[in-house]
Structure 1
């Protein structure tokens, strides 16, 4: 028996929260952004349901603010050090190790304050692994003309998913190389074809029209490139996640998806067009629209295994007591 996720949010409700958050963030010159992030996530998490229970996001905005101030301080020191070659080299080395550590802390923080039925998630990956997989190896794929890039993408996904825990149960993911290479081959071919078509169209329009005296035509010509970036990348990430879902499990719990590529593409493209047409005001509606579709196409099985797992961990949690907070518990996921 399978259990499907549900999303109960509405665009108008979320718009009210989003617009207030945006206004307060602008008025406070960005200092309200941690509170805005928490309010946004609490709405999206709190309206996502699985087996009659909703998720929750319980982060403290002050900890997010501390993390961002720390990152700002380090980045400011890096810019200041640019006036001195020796200091610049030292701070460059510091930044090289700071970002992997910051990425790890962000994953830990967001997992730690995400919960389902009173049980928290967690992330156990290390900054060293993040440095190797996300900072050291990607540039080296150029030496193989990108041939090992799909394999590296699979390892990155395995690392992120496989180091997440739900209570004391660890997620498992092993991505076979064949499907990943096939997916990347198809995606890469489509991307190059779209890119070629865009440049061909740009050259054709440039030949037939005087773009210097038609600035609006320049924007119209560049629009396909914008859509290529903002639509293709989410589609690519969604495709990788689909592969990951098919090969992920949590103890005896498995995941399945009925996501349809044509409908997903239509939602992403129409969302972007609506965002452009409304000068960004459609953003909250776009997020709700995508969350609803993603939820209704995602399910877990068997439902009985989920109930048994949660019941067992609730007993262990009650016996062990609440988990103690870490000393350095701040969010450094600046882009999340």
Structure 2
């Protein structure tokens, strides 16, 4: 965040070691694609290559954020590999759309196959994303564990579905724990052990919040429709208002619940994450996150999707600025691990297409 946490300030006044180091993201959203040129020079690539082979907005966003963070981060993804992965992802998307047009059975078969390969995709996606990312000259990495991925991800997903959603909070917790605890910085592994109970409390609170918001907005919509009917408005107008009102109610409910759940879950995940002797501190608040979701949604609707880069930056900026590193010792003590081969970008692009990742 822009200022240190209260705990860090108190410690500083007592003469102790300064507390968490905040993550700051500088720059303006309108430069998201312009900064590709600046960052490509640091990677010794021709800027034309970055634009000419289909560099996507996600990569542009990463480069913009890394550049705005003082260039301590580096992104070393091969744009050609990203393009190949994106083409394969597009082919799979076309297969799914074709199956939908063919029959319900074909659709379920394709969805079933996608569910079976999702744990594999998660592992491949994290391996690619982390191995092409560096901080202070050291690369991140992800330790592949396919058996664990199927046990923790697919296993808990099946249990969540079989229990009509009652165990889905546990699935969310297992997904976060699996991904973070298998990530490494240099030769040092991250440790993450979020509490199971916190996820269930957040899920039930989110359902209660959805009920309250839905009832309040539903009553308001009913009043508006009633006023229109009493005023003798044409049926077509009433139908349009009703349809738009229902869509707006759903959008508000989803934004409110998603913002609340994300803030609490991410605070729990990062608040229980450590890297060697260093701790991560997360201070996301639900109200600003809900506001970002709502305003981003409105902007995307009114700009027909053109606001997407700005929406992504607003969201990622707030999340990053809510993270702080509480250092206990020197950050120069980290050592590099043996170089690991960077896998194909196919898993990363398919995961991006299917929204299979942290769920951020």
**What TM-score, normalized by structure 2, do the two folds share?**
0.72
Q: Is the 8 A contact 1:9 1:47 kept in 2?
A: yes
1:297 paired with 2:322, answer yes
1:107 paired with 2:132, answer no
SS at match of 1:6: coil
User: C-alpha displacement at 1:156, in angstroms?
Assistant: 1.6
Q: Is the 8 A contact 2:140 2:185 kept in 1?
A: yes
My pick for the range that moved more, 199-208 or 218-227, is: 199-208
User: C-alpha displacement at 1:73, in angstroms?
Assistant: 4.1
Identify the residue that residue 26 of structure 1 maps to in structure 2. Answer: none
Identify the residue that residue 11 of structure 2 maps to in structure 1. Answer: none
Picking from 25, 42, 55, the partner of 1:7 is 25
Identify the residue that residue 169 of structure 1 maps to in structure 2. Answer: 188
Distance 2:114 2:300 in 1: 35
User: C-alpha displacement at 1:115, in angstroms?
Assistant: 1.2
Distance 2:25 2:115 in 1: 39
1:262 paired with 2:283, answer no
Identify the residue that residue 185 of structure 1 maps to in structure 2. Answer: 204
Distance 1:281 1:76 in 2: 23
Distance 1:307 1:69 in 2: 40
* CA separation of 1:209 and 1:15: change in aligned 2, threshold 3 A: farther
Picking from 171, 174, 193, the partner of 1:152 is 171
SS at match of 1:264: helix
SS at match of 1:333: helix
Picking from 237, 240, 243, the partner of 2:262 is 237
Distance 2:105 2:315 in 1: 48
Deviation string 1:242-292 (CA, Å, 9 cap, x unpaired) is 111111101111011333333333333333334444444444333333344
Q: Is the 8 A contact 1:141 1:147 kept in 2?
A: yes
User: C-alpha displacement at 1:124, in angstroms?
Assistant: 1.9
* CA separation of 1:246 and 1:94: change in aligned 2, threshold 3 A: closer
Picking from 219, 229, 237, the partner of 1:213 is 237
SS at match of 1:209: helix
Identify the residue that residue 46 of structure 1 maps to in structure 2. Answer: 67
Q: Is the 8 A contact 1:123 1:165 kept in 2?
A: yes
Distance 2:245 2:105 in 1: 47
Distance 1:147 1:268 in 2: 26
SS at match of 1:219: helix
User: Which structure 2 segments of 5+ residues have no match?
Assistant: 1-17, 37-51, 230-234, 356-360
Picking from 116, 119, 123, the partner of 1:97 is 116
Deviation string 1:15-54 (CA, Å, 9 cap, x unpaired) is 7679xxxxxxxxxxxx9654443223211222224xxx52
User: C-alpha displacement at 1:302, in angstroms?
Assistant: 1.6
Q: Is the 8 A contact 2:270 2:280 kept in 1?
A: yes
Distance 1:37 1:271 in 2: 17
* CA separation of 1:98 and 1:71: change in aligned 2, threshold 3 A: farther
* CA separation of 1:220 and 1:292: change in aligned 2, threshold 3 A: same
My pick for the range that moved more, 140-149 or 154-163, is: 140-149
Q: Is the 8 A contact 1:253 1:301 kept in 2?
A: yes
Once the two structures are superposed, the pairs formed by residues 311-322 of structure 1 within 5 Å of their partners are 313=335, 316=336, 322=339
Q: Is the 8 A contact 1:9 1:288 kept in 2?
A: no
**What TM-score, normalized by structure 1, do the two folds share?**
0.76
User: C-alpha displacement at 1:193, in angstroms?
Assistant: 2.1
Q: Kindly report the root-mean-square deviation, in angstroms, between the aligned alpha carbons of the 2 structures.
A: 3.5
Picking from 266, 278, 303, the partner of 1:253 is 278
User: C-alpha displacement at 1:206, in angstroms?
Assistant: 4.1
* CA separation of 1:268 and 1:89: change in aligned 2, threshold 3 A: closer
SS at match of 2:263: helix
* CA separation of 1:37 and 1:257: change in aligned 2, threshold 3 A: closer
User: What is the aligned residue count?
Assistant: 312
Distance 1:192 1:85 in 2: 32
Q: Is the 8 A contact 1:47 1:55 kept in 2?
A: no
User: Which structure 1 segments of 5+ residues have no match?
Assistant: 19-30
Deviation string 1:43-95 (CA, Å, 9 cap, x unpaired) is 1222224xxx5212221122122223334445656747997999999867654
* CA separation of 1:96 and 1:141: change in aligned 2, threshold 3 A: closer
